[in-house]
Structure 1
Amino acid sequence: MTVSRPEISAKCADLVTAARDLVPEIAAAVPSYRGARDLPVSVIAAMKEAGLHKAYMPSRYGGYELDWGAHYYISREIAQACGSAGWIAGLVFTHVMCIGRFPEKAQDAFFTASPDGILATASAGSGVLERVPGGMQLSGRWGWASGVRHAGGLMVIAKEGDGPLFTHFCLLLPGEYTIEDTWDSAGLHATGSHHVKIVNQFIPDERLVERDVYLAPNPPGSEIHSSYVYRLRPAPLQKSYFMGPLLGTAKGALNATIEQTAKRRGQIVGERVAVQTPVQVNLGVATAEIDAATLVFDEYVRRLHAWGLSGNDIAPDDLLWGKRNVTFASRMCLSAADRLSAGLGAGGQLQSNPVPRLYTDCRSITTHVELHWDHSMAPTGMLALGLPTGDPLIDRETTDPKVERVIIGTQI
């Protein structure tokens, strides 16, 4: 069954085809970097050669400036071969859109220093800002900076003063931060999500954006570009980063299971495994779960694109829909990958088998805070029961970025 998807541009379709063509090459390379903490330079180079990193790069800096959704279609192809590569394609390559929110002078500086436009980001940690003439002095340490060894710059959050929340987004160029080799994970093992450390680094004013300016619609840096991508409120987009890698890892596990099962024979009497009804049912259920997740993810991409074209802020119903249903669909992907891995028996747990590896990658993706089950589901119940969710947009109270809000909500 082919599940329909929203119409995409010709350039986006070209990139999806290029990503699909890379799948056999990446799959063949996976054994060579099993257990490595970073993707090999050769895999990153192949994805860059295909132009996958340019989907959201502004056209004035040599990118394609595509509509929202390109990363989803691209990464769900790549992740069928390797969850770590899909993560880089779906998440890290998407971060270039963040640059379009900074002032023009900062954008020029970044793309001059890093013409490939690959940006690592880190928000898990603490950073302290101190005002000095012409900018601020920054010190701190952050974790989960995916792809940082392959990036040409880094964006972190940091706090000025004694308030409870961070106050600024900070853009750093090569040489202004130190990478600590700390990433060691069973799932997504080659994403290179290391810690970064910064000590007394001067950041000029143009590479500092106040939190509520960055997180609101229409930041100043968006004015020099045509695409709506740089003008949107960024928080609702974040769940979509994970949809392609989720779907790709589950689909990759399904494809590998089918290929293996068609050839399998029982270890004792040599019977064909493929003729066993439970095996057939397991494949059928996994396929249904993946199809259902695809429909949800495609619909969220459609809604985000329609929101971008509208020129308005995101509708509360769409925001709530994405919070709930994207997380629910992530569990369908995980369920499919889990049943496929378990269904292969002991032989399917070998490290050389791609199915348990893809399952582990899929499971790791679902642990991200954006896919936290209670946080994603509770607002729907709260609203249905007439209770405030704490999210100003969902509660239809205000869109004023200066109003206090929950730490993990519409804007943060």
Structure 2
Amino acid sequence: MTDEVLERVRDLLPAIAGRNPVAEEDRRLPAETVADLVSVGAFRMLQPKRYGGLESDPVRFYEVVREVSTVCGSSGWVLSILGVHPWHVGLFPREAQDEVWAGGPDVLICSSYAPIGRLTAVEGGYLLSGRWSFASGCDHASWALLGGLVVGDEGRPVDFLSVLVPRADFQVLDVWDPVGLRGTGSNDIVVDKAFVPAHRIVRNYDVSQLRAPGRAVNPGPLFALPFGAVFTTAVAAPVVGVVSGCYETYVAAMRDRVRLSLGGGRFVEDQGAQVAVARAASEIDAAVLQLDRNMADLYDHAVRDAEIPMELRLRARRDQVRATERALAAIDLLFQSAGGNSLRRGNPIERAWRDAHAGSMHVANDAQRALALYGKGAFSLPVEDTLV
């Protein structure tokens, strides 16, 4: 079924690409695009089987994400982010999972993981309040995964949590108006003193230690993987896919181009253009190969029920941010070598350049932070970070 998703997604690509102008103008994905991706099971690839999901090999999921991203960065981004959330919900207690999928397997879940929310303990759970930004695809979501912290008596944070909130308990504020990934609808979410029962909460520390309560009902290898690899790869894969698609478009468009300056001549005969294409292709290949290798190695450990070494977890984070850096290096080469034509609004190179750079701004793509973590591990220093 996983391979079928990829084939069915490929059949959707022309229609998704044709809706690019609408997504850019409306600043959110068209309902038709979301419905198309739902219909082929793309959002259910990392969802528990007990709730109608596919529990796919994660490498296949990211391949589908990259494929969609080649024609529409916003569609690929929303698929990747919303598509990884069923996996995270699968780490919550069974009662929470039962609630989320009570109405069927095609529920969409958005997120904003920054620990902005304030949780006040009450009988049976917590009261949650806060305002979160960058909740991609939230207009299409029935649930939200939100970051929150519990504050002690002295006003200091004592615990960092992820909480599940139904659509009835949050408000979407239409504030998204960026230069790139315009169609992701990454608006703000507001919650005002919503009651969150204890079963709709997981401790970020427990998840990072691979001790999430949901493993009691989802024992498959997919749910033995670290959040720090699964989620962060989800914010790198669309960027790589965007640039990969731009590369193919660039090569096809430039084959017949004739320079109108610098002595004229066919563009493809210019050595500088040839070198730029070679460098860009190599960067894209390296990004894909490292992302896939690391996720395959992680999944292999999980399938064998073997302990996942910290060295591998750190390598996955290292190469995830490097994949984003490589993708940006490639798109910058293409953008620059395309000349003045790349500046025209609405052309594929210009849009891909904006989308790739916008995606790189996600905190999980912060190269300095992730590379420093790897360096600490290499020097045998202690590493404490929930995104590993």
Residue 397 of structure 1 is matched in structure 2 by none
Q: 1:233 to 1:387 in 2, by over 3 A?
A: closer
Residue 176 of structure 2 is matched in structure 1 by 183
Classify the secondary structure of the residue corresponding to 1:249: helix
Residue pairs, 1:59-208, within 5 angstroms: 59-113=49-103, 115-124=105-114, 126-162=116-152, 163-164=156-157, 166-208=159-201
Separation (CA, whole Å) in 1 of partners of 2:307 and 2:25: 43
Residue pairs, 1:4-403, within 5 angstroms: 11-113=1-103, 115-124=105-114, 126-162=116-152, 163-164=156-157, 166-267=159-260, 271-384=265-378, 386=379, 388=381, 390-391=382-383
Q: 1:212 to 1:32 in 2, by over 3 A?
A: closer
Separation (CA, whole Å) in 2 of partners of 1:192 and 1:145: 8
Aligned residue pair count:
384
Q: 1:270 to 1:181 in 2, by over 3 A?
A: same
Q: 1:212 to 1:377 in 2, by over 3 A?
A: closer
Q: Deviations over 1:133-184 (max 9, x none)?
A: 2222111111111111111201112222333354322111121101111212
Larger displacement relative to structure 2 (311-320 or 178-187)? 311-320
Q: 1:380 to 1:122 in 2, by over 3 A?
A: closer
Separation (CA, whole Å) in 2 of partners of 1:50 and 1:135: 37
More helix by share: 2
Q: 1:288 to 1:210 in 2, by over 3 A?
A: closer
Q: TM-score, normalised by structure 1?
A: 0.87
Separation (CA, whole Å) in 1 of partners of 2:240 and 2:338: 20
Classify the secondary structure of the residue corresponding to 2:182: coil
Deviation at 1:326, TM superposition (A): 2.3
2:323 maps to a residue whose letter is A
Q: Percent identity?
A: 27
Deviation at 1:220, TM superposition (A): 2.1
- Unmatched 5+ stretches in structure 1: 1-10, 392-404
Instruction: Name the Cα RMSD after superposition.
Output: 2.1
Deviation at 1:51, TM superposition (A): 1.3
Classify the secondary structure of the residue corresponding to 1:225: coil
Deviation at 1:193, TM superposition (A): 1.2
Q: 1:55 to 1:41 in 2, by over 3 A?
A: same
Q: TM-score, normalised by structure 2?
A: 0.92
Q: Deviations over 1:67-104 (max 9, x none)?
A: 22232111110000011111112222111111111121
Q: 1:102 to 1:177 in 2, by over 3 A?
A: same
Separation (CA, whole Å) in 2 of partners of 1:185 and 1:170: 27
Larger displacement relative to structure 2 (347-356 or 156-165)? 156-165
Q: Deviations over 1:311-358 (max 9, x none)?
A: 244212212212222222321111111111121111122112111211
Deviation at 1:230, TM superposition (A): 2.3
Separation (CA, whole Å) in 1 of partners of 2:359 and 2:182: 11
- Unmatched 5+ stretches in structure 2: none
Following TM superposition, the consecutive aligned residue runs of length 4 or more in structure 1 with deviations greater than 6 angstroms are: none
Deviation at 1:116, TM superposition (A): 1.2
Deviation at 1:110, TM superposition (A): 0.8
Q: 1:149 to 1:53 in 2, by over 3 A?
A: same
1:240 maps to a residue whose letter is T
Larger displacement relative to structure 2 (199-208 or 77-86)? 199-208
1:139 maps to a residue whose letter is S
Deviation at 1:216, TM superposition (A): 2.9
Separation (CA, whole Å) in 2 of partners of 1:149 and 1:117: 13
